């Protein structure tokens, strides 16, 4: 085990994959000469050369589609999209090809494609670089969607994605890159589709993923001061979704607050809430609550952006309101 | 032209006839409800699929569009497997999941059947990238129509393929209409092959109603690509005799325009040419028609006899199943 940033943990997985598997190559905007917009691939061009670390033109739809084609051709491409907002330019290839080709061809094709992109707000990048749209992607059968919240998962999910025969989309919250965590570089892939309880408690389940895990844990610490022990569930994988772990936690705590940086309406939190209704209704002591982003395009000014995003006080308040009204 | 011998003349003619009769049968089966969904007929464009395939090897990859019956047959996918696919049967080339627009046969490196206009181009670029990274000498041939050149994916794909010198043969089947919109009504520069100039890519255009001209131009283009000189855009000028799909009342083109193009029917043109050369006789034509008719009867039999995929298999192959 060693301390490593989320960014370095991803790079560690990329380097290992490039070293061990000649089929692996990276492509995306500025992944090579620039070192990656978020410095994730820094140094890899020098180490592995321009054939395997490929700078692309600004053509998201086409280089993602080329990733699909290369995967069909036996390679293991890792495509980087700078932010989820830019991935919207590639939705044709994602929804119409990556997700469909296996089923539509009667099982003849397999698309072992890995796509990494940043998501989320908190860096004053306003309304075209800050949204959390991973819930949209989780809607689509045929692809897998993971959102690592800690450095170890950032490494483990990338290794898992590269071993997966199907397209895997990795959403990296942009505020997490400099955050350090414990990483075992000898550890293999993480299990896609498995949620983890990050903090044990019995009063309420805080269910979250990605960039809001840290806030949920902090809220749990604050609640503990008042004697409320919150359990924090890190979903880690949005598709497939580990319903079992969610329901096990809710059956223990009887209360659930879902924290999701997406907008509330049609959010991923709505899906989690529905699963709890379907599978855990009779274990609930209170209606499920959600802490989501305000329903506005992300504003630039810091105080306004802070107000738009889920914050620790809002999580604490949601739990307290639930305990007061349904204590 | 002069180097064509009798065997090759008969082979080309048979392939074009097979496509024509296969589609006539498909249209008939559509009208009685055996085939549903969309049915985009290729009739009039047969010389393009047949001519281009002569210049490609079985190792080369093919990416086609939703109007791909001709390419699939010319590639050698059995007619029964294609007919069964259009019936929606489990013995179809895509297990009945794709229908007319989504033929796949990986064993023949036939990668669809793409029904998003220009959506196949990036995939072809990627297949070629895989070949380049593995130092393979294969070519990926990517078919698309004139409508596709208005899409961003066309321009992005030409740029990327040229930039990275990838072995892609872009084959534009210019039938003059993007569904119902005439080329001059959607392109500021309707000379399609010239679009390659913007990407420093070599290009050519050929008469898509002349199977030998198509073959010759494709051979030159494929040689260029196979020689490691990067991609090539070949425009094949052709015409679709039938409506865009079974849902099209054809309000956008004049009947006399269609009649004029039918004067240049690729099968009739080639037939009269090889007859004039004295290498194909009336008796040959009769026997070709009989053998093609037998093949179509057999294809329909295969489709009729095919099983339906069990409903329990609905969600199979959304993801790869691990034992």
Does A34 map to a domain? yes
Question: Strands A289-293 and B110-114: what pairing?
Answer: unpaired
Does A20 map to a domain? yes
Does B250 map to a domain? yes
- pLDDT at residue A250 greater than cutoff 90: yes
Segment A295-310 shows an average pLDDT of 97
Distance CA B189, CA A186 (A): 58
**CA neighbor of B64 nearest in space, from B293, B56, A143:** B56
Residue A152 shares a structural domain with residue A257: no
Segment A298-308 shows an average pLDDT of 97
Segment A166-175 shows an average pLDDT of 98
pLDDT tens figures, B13-47:
999 999 999 999 999 999 999 999 999 999 999 99
Give me A316's structure tokens: 């604490």
- pLDDT at residue A302 greater than cutoff 60: yes
Average pLDDT, chain A: 97
Does B309 map to a domain? no
Task: Print the domain residue range for A177.
Answer: 2-183
Distance CA B126, CA A97 (A): 13
What does the pLDDT read at residue A327? 66
Domain of A168, CATH number, reads: 3.40.50.970
What does the pLDDT read at residue B1? 47
Number of domains in chain A: 2
Does B317 map to a domain? no
Q: Is the peptide bond before B113 cis (omega within 30 degrees of 0)?
A: yes
User: Could you tell me if A227 lies within 8 Å of chain B, comparing CB atoms?
Assistant: no
pLDDT tens figures, A109-119:
999 999 999 99
Does A188 map to a domain? no
Give percent of chain A above pLDDT 90.
Answer: 98
User: Could you tell me if B105 lies within 8 Å of chain A, comparing CB atoms?
Assistant: yes
Contact A57 B159 (CB under 8 A): yes
Contact B94 A71 (CB under 8 A): no
What does the pLDDT read at residue B60? 98
- pLDDT at residue B247 greater than cutoff 90: no
Last residue of a domain, one of A148, A183, A218: A183
Q: Are B187 and B195 in contact (CB under 8 A)?
A: no
pLDDT tens figures, B211-222:
999 999 999 999
Nearest Cα residue in chain B from A57? B160
- Which 8-state DSSP code applies to residue A130? -
pLDDT tens figures, B61-98:
999 999 999 999 999 999 999 999 999 999 999 999 99
Contact A108 B128 (CB under 8 A): no
Residue A155 shares a structural domain with residue A211: no
pLDDT tens figures, A72-131:
999 999 999 999 999 999 999 999 999 999 999 999 999 999 999 999 999 999 999 999
Predicted TM-score (pTM) of the model is 0.97
Cβ-based contacts of B124 with chain A (< 8 Å): 69
- Which 8-state DSSP code applies to residue B52? H
Domain of B16, CATH number, reads: 3.40.50.970
- Which 8-state DSSP code applies to residue B105? B
Residue A162 shares a structural domain with residue A281: no
Distance CA B95, CA B117 (A): 23
**CA neighbor of B154 nearest in space, from B199, B109, B111:** B199
Overall size of chain A counted in residues: 327
Residue A132 shares a structural domain with residue A238: no
Task: Print the domain residue range for B201.
Answer: 6-304
Confidence of residue B2 (pLDDT cuts 50, 70, 90): very low
User: Could you tell me if B97 lies within 8 Å of chain A, comparing CB atoms?
Assistant: yes
Q: Which of B92, B111, B159 sits opposite A72 (nearest CB)?
A: B111
- pLDDT at residue B245 greater than cutoff 90: no
Does B323 map to a domain? no
pLDDT tens figures, B251-306:
999 999 999 999 999 999 999 999 999 999 999 999 999 999 999 999 999 999 99
Residue A175 shares a structural domain with residue A69: yes
Number of domains in chain B: 1
């Amino acid at each position: 085990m060693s301390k490593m940033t989320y960014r370095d943990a991803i790079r560690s997985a990329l380097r290992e994959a490039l070293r061990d598997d000649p089929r692996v190559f990276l492509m995306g905007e500025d992944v090579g000469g620039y070192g990656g917009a978020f410095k994730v691939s820094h140094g890899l061009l020098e180490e592995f050369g321009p054939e395997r670390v490929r700078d692309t033109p600004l053509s998201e739809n086409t280089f993602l589609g080329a990733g699909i084609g290369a995967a069909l051709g036996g390679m293991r491409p890792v495509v980087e999209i700078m932010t989820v907002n830019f991935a919207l330019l590639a939705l044709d290839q994602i929804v119409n090809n990556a997700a469909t080709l296996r089923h539509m061809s009667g099982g003849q094709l397999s698309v072992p494609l890995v796509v990494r992109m940043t998501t989320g707000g908190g860096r004053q990048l306003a309304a075209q670089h800050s949204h959390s749209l991973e819930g949209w992607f989780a809607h689509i059968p045929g692809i897998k969607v993971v959102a690592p919240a800690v450095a170890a998962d950032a490494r483990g999910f990338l290794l898992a994605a590269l071993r997966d025969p199907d397209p895997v989309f990795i959403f990296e919250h942009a505020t997490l890159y400099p955050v350090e965590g414990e990483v075992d570089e000898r550890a293999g892939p993480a299990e896609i589709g498995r949620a983890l309880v990050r903090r044990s408690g019995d009063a309420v389940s805080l269910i979250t993923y990605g960039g809001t895990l840290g806030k949920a844990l902090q809220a749990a610490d604050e609640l503990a001061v008042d004697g409320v022990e919150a359990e924090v569930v890190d979903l880690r994988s949005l598709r497939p979704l580990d319903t079992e772990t969610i329901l096990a936690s809710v059956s223990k705590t009887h209360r659930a607050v879902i924290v999701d940086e997406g907008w509330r309406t049609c959010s991923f939190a709505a899906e989690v809430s529905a699963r709890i209704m379907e599978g855990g209704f009779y274990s609930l002591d209170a209606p499920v609550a959600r802490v989501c982003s305000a329903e506005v395009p992300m504003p630039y000014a810091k105080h306004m952006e802070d107000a738009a995003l889920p914050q620790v006080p809002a999580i604490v308040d949601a739990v307290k309101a639930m305990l007061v009204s349904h204590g | 032209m002069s180097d064509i011998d009798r065997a090759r003349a008969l082979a080309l003619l048979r392939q074009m006839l097979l496509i024509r009769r296969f589609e006539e049968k498909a249209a008939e089966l559509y009208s009685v409800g055996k085939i549903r969904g969309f049915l985009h007929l290729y009739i009039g464009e047969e010389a393009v699929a047949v001519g281009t395939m002569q210049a490609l090897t079985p190792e080369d990859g093919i990416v086609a569009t939703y109007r791909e019956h001709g390419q699939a047959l010319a590639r050698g996918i059995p007619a029964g497997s294609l007919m069964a696919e259009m019936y929606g049967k489990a013995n179809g080339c895509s297990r009945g999941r794709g229908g007319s627009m989504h033929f796949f046969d990986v064993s023949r490196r036939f990668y669809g059947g793409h029904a998003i206009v220009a959506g196949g181009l990036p995939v072809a670029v990627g297949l070629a990238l895989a070949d380049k990274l593995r130092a393979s000498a294969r070519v990926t041939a990517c078919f698309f129509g004139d409508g596709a050149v208005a899409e961003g994916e066309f321009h992005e794909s030409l740029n990327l393929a040229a930039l990275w010198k990838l072995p892609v043969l872009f084959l534009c089947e210019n039938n003059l209409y993007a569904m119902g919109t005439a080329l001059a009504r959607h392109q500021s520069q309707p000379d399609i092959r010239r679009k390659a100039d913007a990407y420093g890519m070599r290009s050519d255009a050929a008469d898509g109603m002349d199977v030998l001209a198509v073959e010759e131009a494709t051979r030159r283009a494929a040689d260029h690509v196979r020689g490691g000189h990067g991609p090539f855009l070949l425009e094949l000028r052709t015409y679709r005799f039938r409506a865009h799909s079974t849902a099209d009342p054809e309000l956008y083109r004049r009947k006399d325009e269609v009649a004029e193009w039918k004067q240049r029917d690729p099968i009739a043109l080639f037939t009269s040419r090889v007859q004039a050369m004295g290498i194909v006789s009336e008796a040959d034509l009769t026997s070709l028609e009989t053998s093609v008719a037998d093949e179509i009867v057999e294809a329909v039999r295969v489709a009729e006899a095919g099983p339906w995929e069990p409903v329990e298999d609905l969600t199979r192959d959304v993801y790869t199943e691990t034992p």
